Structure 1
Amino acid sequence: MTSFLPHAKRLQGRKVLLGDNLSSHLDGDVIKTCNENNISFVCLVPNSTHLCQPLDVGFFRPMKSARRATLTTWKLQNLRLTTVPKDRFPILLRQCLDQMDKSKFQPSKHRSSEPRPGDKEESAVRRNLINSFAATGIYPLNKCEVLNKLPSNENDGEIVQNVESVLTI
C-alpha cells in the first residue's frame, strides 16, 4: 500500500487494487485503507496467476531471459566471484531492462497509431506491461481473454461461471 497509495490519491474516481490471494497482501488494515481511499480491493482467482496475473503472463518471462543473458555476461567477466555484490545489482538490473528494450518498435494494443517521424520509440518494457493487462482481460476489461485460455472439459459451465463472477466488478 505504501507504494500504491500516493499514486492512487492523485487519480479521480474509484480505483482498483488487484491482489493475488497471498495472505501477506490481504489483511484488515489493507481493506480499511482501501475503503478510506475509494479503492476496490479485488482478489484474482486462486491458482490462476498463470492466466490472470499480468506480470506472470507477459512480463516475467522476457525479464528472466534478459536477466539470464545479463548475468551470464557478468559471470564471464567476473570468474572469481560467486555472487553479485550489492553495489553491482542496480547496474545489472539496468542492463537487464535495457536488454528487454532492445527490440523493434511494436506499438502496444492501445496506441492509436504507428509512430510518426520524430516520435520516441516505445519502450519494450512499457509495451509488455500494457499488453500484459490486455492479455489477462484486466484492461480493457475482457473476460474472454481468460476464458479462451481455459482447457475444455465437462465442467466448462462451472468454470465459466466462477471466472465470470470474479471478473464482474
Structure 2
Amino acid sequence: MPSRNHLDKIGQKKKKKWTEKAMEKALIEVKSGRCTVRQAAKEFGVPKSSLGDRVSGRVTPGSRSGPAQLITSADEQLLVEFSLYMSKHGFPLTKQQVVSFASSIYKRQHRRVAFSKLGQTWWLNFRKRQEKNISIQPADSIVRGRTVCVRKEAVDQFFCLLSSVIEAHRLRDKPYQIYNCHELGFQLGRKRVNLPKSTSLGCKPVAGSRDHVSVLVCFSAAGEDIPPFIVYSKAYPGGVCYKTEGPLNALYGWSDSGCINSDLFKKWFLKHFLVWAPKERPLVLIFDGHKSPVNLEVVESARKEDIVLLCLPPYCSHILQPLDAGLFAELKQRFASLTDDTSAPNTHFAVSKKEFSSVFKKTYQLSKEEEGIRTVKEGFSKCGIYPLNRFAINGSNLMPSHSISSITEAKPSV
C-alpha cells in the first residue's frame, strides 16, 4: 500500500515543467507551417515527443497525462461539495465514508463492474488534489466515544447550528416545518415471557428465539406525523396481512438485522418522506445520522427539495432527541398494555412478525390522540428544539467544558 510520502516523491519526479498554454502555442506554430516540431518544441520549452503526439493526433490536445481518472472531475467536485455540506450540518465524514461514497459514484458510471477500484492510492491522490478545499482532522475520542454524559461543547455546537438554520430560514414560528425522525425497536419472542416491572419494552427477548422489528417514526414540532416505516428482520412475514392490518399508509421494508440502514433510509426519504411531507419549504429534518449514514442521493435530493438535514451529536439521543424524550416511552407502554396477559400479572403475550403490524397499529393510534400530540410537542420543548431554547437542557447531564479545536466552515474536516 503506497504511503503519502511515496506518492509525493513520485509526483516530484514526474512533475511536468511545461504548461498547456505553451503546448497550444507550439501546436499552432507547427500546424501553420512556420516551425518544425523540433523547432517549436525548443522555442516553447515543451517535450518534442509530446508535441509530436498532438500533431499526429495520437493524443488529444488538452488531455491530462497519466492513468485515466476513476471518477470525473465534475463528480469529484460533487463529492467535495457533499463532504462540505455534511460537515457543516453535523456529519463530518470519515475516510471510509468518503471512499465509500466515491465508490458508489464509480459504480454508477461503470454499472458492469462488480467491484470498486477505489482504494488507498485513490484516497491519497484525492487528498492531494483537494487539500485546498478539505482538511483532515483526528476524531476527538470524547466526542466519538460512548460516554455517560454528553460533552457541553457538542451540545453548544448543535444549538449554534440549529439556531443559525432556524434564523436563516425564518422558521422560529413554523413548528410544522421542523421534523424529527428516530428509530424505535421491538424484540419479538416466540414464547410468553415474564417482564420485570421496571422494563420499558413490550416484550423481553427470549435467547435464541426472537425477531427484531424497527419502526422509523417521524413527527413535526406541531405534532403532525409522517406514516411510520416498519422494518422486519431477515424477511417479510408470510401473507399480506402485515400490510393490510398495519398503520394507515405505512411503508414496509426488511434488513438482515431488522434495523434501518443507509439503503432503507434512502428508500424512506425519497419514496415516503417527500411524498407525505408538507409542500411548504424549507423543511428541517433532525435525526441521528451516525448509525445510519445518509448517502449522496439523499443529500442531493434534500438540497434540490430545500430540505435541511441536521445530524444530532453522537450519543445525545437521550437529551436532544424529541421523540426519545416523550412519545417513545408512551408507545412502549401502550404496546405492553396491548400484550398484557390478564390471567398472569406482569406477564405479556409474545407477538409474532405476522401479528406485529396489527398490534402496532393500535399502539400508534396514541399519536393521533390529543394526549399523544401533546406528548410530541412536549418532547420538542424538553429538548429545546422548539421553541428554540438552549437552556432547556439540564446542565447536570453535560460534561465540564474544556477547549477543543473547532471545525472551520472554510475547510470542514473529513
* TM class, shorter-length: 0.5 to 0.7
d(CA) in 2 for partners of 1:68, 1:15:
34
Is the alpha carbon distance of 1:40 and 1:74 closer, same or farther for their aligned partners in structure 2, counting shifts above 3 Å?
farther
Say which of 121, 130, 135 aligns to 2:382: 135
Higher strand residue share = 2
Change (3 A) 1:135 1:75: farther
DSSP 3-state at the match of 1:156? coil
Q: How does 1:17-56 map to 2 (within 5 A)?
A: 17-56=285-324
Asked if 1:3 is matched to 2:243, the reply is: no
Query: Aligned pair in 2 of structure 1 residues 48, 75: CA closer, same or farther (>3 Å)?
Result: farther
- Give the Å deviation of 1:74: 8.0
Query: Are residues 150 and 16 of structure 1, via their aligned partners in 2, closer, same or farther at CA, if it must alter by over 3 Å?
Result: farther
Q: Return the alpha-carbon distance in structure 2 between the equivalents of residues 92 and 75 of structure 1.
A: 20
TM-score (norm: length of structure 1): 0.63
| Match 2:401 to one of 156, 159, 163 | 156
Q: What 5-or-longer segments of structure 1 have no aligned partner?
A: 102-121, 163-169
Q: Which amino acid aligns with 1:124?
A: E
Post-superposition offset of 1:50 = 0.4
1:85 Cα deviation from its structure 2 partner: 6.3
**CA distance in structure 2 between the aligned counterparts of 1:84 and 1:42, rounded to whole angstroms:** 35
User: Could you say which structure has the larger radius of gyration?
Assistant: 2
**Alignment equivalent of 1:145, drawn from 389, 392, 400:** 392
Q: What is the aligned length?
A: 132
Give, in angstroms, the shift of residue 6 of structure 1: 2.2
For the pair 1:125 / 2:361, whether they are aligned, the reply is no
Does the aligned pair in 1 maintain the 2:331–2:364 contact within 8 Å? yes
Q: Which runs of 5+ in 2 are unaligned?
A: 1-268, 407-414
Deviation at 1:15, TM superposition (A): 1.1
Alignment CA distance shift 1:82-1:139 (3 Å): closer
Q: How far is 1:84 from its partner?
A: 3.4
Q: Does the C-alpha gap of structure 1 residues 90 and 151 become closer, same or farther in structure 2, counting only changes over 3 Å?
A: closer
Aligned residues with identical type, % of pairs: 25
Note if 1:96 corresponds to 2:363.
Answer: yes
| Residue equivalent to 2:284 | 16
Note the alpha carbon deviations across 1:98-145, whole angstroms, 9 max, x for none.
6x58xxxxxxxxxxxxxxxxxxxx621111111111111111111111
Q: Which residue of 2 aligns with 1:58?
A: 326
- Name the CA distance, whole Å, in 2 between partners of 1:63 and 1:49: 17
Out of 336, 352, 370, the residue aligned to residue 84 of structure 1 is 352
Aligned Cα RMSD in Å?
3.2
2:286 and 2:370 map into 1 onto residues whose CA distance is 24
Q: How far 1:49 moved relative to its partner?
A: 0.3
User: Which string of whole-angstrom CA distances, capped at 9 and with x for unpartnered residues, describes residues 74-98 of structure 1?
Assistant: 897xxxx854362x43442344346
- Aligned residues of 2:283 and 2:306 also touching (Cα < 8 A): yes
**Per the alignment, do residues 123 and 25 of structure 1 end up closer, same or farther by CA in structure 2, a change over 3 Å counting?**
farther
